[in-house]
Amino acid sequence: MSETIGMVIISIGVAFDLFGCIGLVRLPDIYNRLQGATKCVTLGTCLILVGVLVHSGGAMGIKALLCAIFVLLSSPTGAHALARGAHRSGVKLWKGSVMDKYAEDQEGKLDQ
């Protein structure tokens, strides 16, 4: 029983990873792509790891759960660093973007 549930959870996780990858291809600029990459891929990967926990249990399950927590903590931090670095090195927002307060404030220099 737990094997079946584990497999179902892993399948849902893979589906979310797939959506994340489609987003990575379809969305227009780096900031939007990071949105797809962080949200869908984080939840997808966490679901796969939780699926492993339900499927196998025991020592492997505990390790999978710890990995899920690390992914949950590190993936948004990584996305934040990438977005900040991209903006500071001059990557422009997509032409359809509505506003860019970060550039208006010159990356925070005017906000001191």
Partner 1 sequence: MATRIFQFLIIFILWLLLTWSLAPQEVIVGVALALLLSIMLYDVFLQGSEKLVQPARYFWFLLYLPVFFYYVVRANLDVAYRVLHPEMPIRPGIVKVRTSLKSDMAKTFLANSITLTPGTLTVDIIGDHLYIHWINIVTEDPQEETEVIVKRFEVFLRRIFE
Q: Which is nearer to partner 1, 7 or 15 (CB)?
A: 15
Q: Considering only CA atoms, which of 16, 15, 12 is closest in space to residue 42?
A: 16
Site for partner 1 in 46-105 (CB under 8 A): 59, 62-63, 66, 72-73, 76-77, 79-80, 83-84, 87, 93-94, 96-103, 105
Between CA 42 and CA 47, with CA 44 as vertex, the angle to 5 degrees is 105
How is residue 58 written in tokens? 């025991």
Give the C-alpha separation, 85 to 54, whole Å: 38
Tell me which residues touch partner 1 (CB under 8 A).
Answer: 16, 19-20, 22-23, 26-29, 31-32, 34-36, 38-40, 42-43, 59, 62-63, 66, 72-73, 76-77, 79-80, 83-84, 87, 93-94, 96-103, 105, 107-108, 111-112
